[in-house]
Amino acid sequence: MSQKNISFGKINIIWGEKGSRFPYSNTLFIDDKIKTFIDPSAGLDVLKKIGDERIDRVINSHFHFDHIRFNYVFQNADIWVHKLDSGAMTDYFSYIRKYGGLRILGEQWVNELVNYLNQKEMKSEANSFTYDRSFYRSIGKINFTYQEGDTISFGKENAYVIHTPGHADSMCCFYFPEQSLCYVSDYNVLSDWGPWYGGEESSIQELIKSADRLKEIDADYFVTAHDQAVLTKQEFLKHLGKFISVIDERNRKIESLVKKDISFYELSDLGIFYEKKYHYIHWVRTWETLMLIKHLEYTNLKKIIPYVLKLEEERCLESL
Ligand SMILES: [Zn+2]
């Protein structure tokens, strides 16, 4: 169910295609003196219709595919990323490493993917988005970095940068004081799926700490990247609690499985996070495995089964 785009002053919320689900997201279009997109991933047609030459600035809340997707279309725009994403957004190897590819699938796989992406022909051999070159087209151009505490001015509207690491070490939320509106990026609190922390520098602890920080934001309205709704503060807080509690549910599930003497490989093959039918996609398998590792680290279970984990981690990689 998609709803009509909503405006707050000069800030227009453009709901994403396909219910704003990956690889799409909501986009904020700030139709001010400096025309800006935040997370230009709502859809190619809808964003181009606004005018690909009119856009002065693109801001990415973090480096993920579904937040940088159509940066490359806006050739005249300056691209702003968090300072911790300046490496990943500059070259394929760093990008793939940061998304977990190096740790889980190894250097050879990363090098092969980088070589593939560097080939000139645009014909895609893709049987999944891993090998869809369009997903990587925005990597390679950045103009400015921002960080915690910055105020970004658009003319009439301003945004305060609130650094909220966890989902990604770089992820930021943007608070617009004139409109009492906060864009909370991937705190997709209406999603039953729960939080994501499958990147190299993702952290469950940080994600929970950042959620606590968001509770202190004195905004009347909250908008997420993938839910098609504007939430009041009360609604946001209510759903945020439920969203974060998914982490404990997953912990309990994993703990009970580990007690049954299940191996790491078996654990990573169960589909605790992503349905098994998607595991053939290299990125999905990477994130499934890395989210599992983050849980084992978070609950200290890794200490109990350190050798098993190491051996099984290697076997897991061979099987891909
Ligand atoms: Zn993300």
pLDDT value for 317: 54
For ligand 1, the distance from its centroid to the CA atom of residue 260, given in whole angstroms, is 33
For ligand 1, the distance from its centroid to the CA atom of residue 186, given in whole angstroms, is 6
For ligand 1, the distance from its centroid to the CA atom of residue 68, given in whole angstroms, is 10
For ligand 1, the distance from its centroid to the CA atom of residue 307, given in whole angstroms, is 31
* pLDDT, averaged across the chain: 92
pLDDT band at 305 (very low <50, low <70, confident <90, very high): low
Examine the domain organization and report whether 56 and 190 are in the same domain: yes
pLDDT value for 307: 45
For ligand 1, the distance from its centroid to the CA atom of residue 273, given in whole angstroms, is 15
Inside any domain, residue 295: yes
Q: What is the DSSP letter of 62?
A: S
Examine the domain organization and report whether 167 and 227 are in the same domain: yes
Q: Please state the domain count of the chain.
A: 2
Q: What is the DSSP letter of 16?
A: P
Examine the domain organization and report whether 314 and 223 are in the same domain: no
Examine the domain organization and report whether 32 and 168 are in the same domain: yes
Give the tens place of pLDDT for each residue, 73-111: 999 999 999 999 999 999 999 999 999 999 999 999 999
Which of 246, 212, 213, 219 has the alpha carbon at shortest distance from 235?
219
For ligand 1, the distance from its centroid to the CA atom of residue 66, given in whole angstroms, is 7
For ligand 1, the distance from its centroid to the CA atom of residue 150, given in whole angstroms, is 21
Inside any domain, residue 280: yes
**What stretches of the chain show up as alpha helix (H) in DSSP?**
44-51, 65-68, 92-98, 101-118, 204-215, 233-259, 264-269, 282-298, 301-304, 306-318
Tally Cβ neighbours within 10 Å of residue 128. Answer: 12
The residue among 244, 270, 298 that closes a domain is: 244
The residue among 226, 244, 262 that closes a domain is: 244
The CATH number linked to 238 is: 3.60.15.10
For ligand 1, the distance from its centroid to the CA atom of residue 39, given in whole angstroms, is 10
Give the tens place of pLDDT for each residue, 123-138: 666 678 999 999 999 9
pLDDT value for 1: 43
Inside any domain, residue 63: yes
Tally Cβ neighbours within 10 Å of residue 69. Answer: 27
Give the tens place of pLDDT for each residue, 244-289: 999 999 999 988 888 777 778 888 899 999 999 999 999 999 999 9
For ligand 1, the distance from its centroid to the CA atom of residue 215, given in whole angstroms, is 20
Examine the domain organization and report whether 293 and 187 are in the same domain: no
For ligand 1, the distance from its centroid to the CA atom of residue 67, given in whole angstroms, is 7
pLDDT value for 223: 98
The residue among 179, 213, 244 that closes a domain is: 244
pLDDT value for 259: 78
Inside any domain, residue 105: no
Share of the chain above pLDDT 70, in %: 91
Q: Compute the distance between CA of residue 28 and CA of residue 58 in angstroms, rounded to an integer.
A: 10
Examine the domain organization and report whether 199 and 299 are in the same domain: no
Examine the domain organization and report whether 237 and 226 are in the same domain: yes
Examine the domain organization and report whether 194 and 286 are in the same domain: no
For ligand 1, the distance from its centroid to the CA atom of residue 185, given in whole angstroms, is 8
Question: Domain range spanning residue 253?
Answer: 246-318
User: Do 2 and 14 touch, CB atoms closer than 8 A?
Assistant: no
Higher pLDDT: 319 or 109? It is: 109
Q: Compute the distance between CA of residue 223 and CA of residue 15 in angstroms, rounded to an integer.
A: 10
For ligand 1, the distance from its centroid to the CA atom of residue 224, given in whole angstroms, is 11
Inside any domain, residue 102: no
| CB-based contacts of 145-149 (< 8 A; 24+ apart in sequence) | 145/80, 145/81, 145/82, 145/83, 145/85, 145/86, 146/59, 146/80, 146/81, 146/82, 146/83, 146/172, 147/82, 147/83, 148/172
- Coil vs helix vs strand at 181: strand
Inside any domain, residue 110: no
For ligand 1, the distance from its centroid to the CA atom of residue 261, given in whole angstroms, is 33
For ligand 1, the distance from its centroid to the CA atom of residue 198, given in whole angstroms, is 9
Inside any domain, residue 132: no
Examine the domain organization and report whether 261 and 233 are in the same domain: no
Examine the domain organization and report whether 212 and 198 are in the same domain: yes
For ligand 1, the distance from its centroid to the CA atom of residue 62, given in whole angstroms, is 7
Q: Compute the distance between CA of residue 94 and CA of residue 105 in angstroms, rounded to an integer.
A: 14
pLDDT value for 3: 65
pTM, full prediction? 0.93
1, amino acid identity? M
Q: Compute the distance between CA of residue 39 and CA of residue 60 in angstroms, rounded to an integer.
A: 5
CA-based Rg of the chain, rounded to a whole angstrom?
20
Examine the domain organization and report whether 250 and 306 are in the same domain: yes
- Coil vs helix vs strand at 82: strand
Inside any domain, residue 115: no
- What CA dihedral angle connects 183, 189, 191 and 196, to 10 degrees? 80
Share of the chain above pLDDT 90, in %: 80
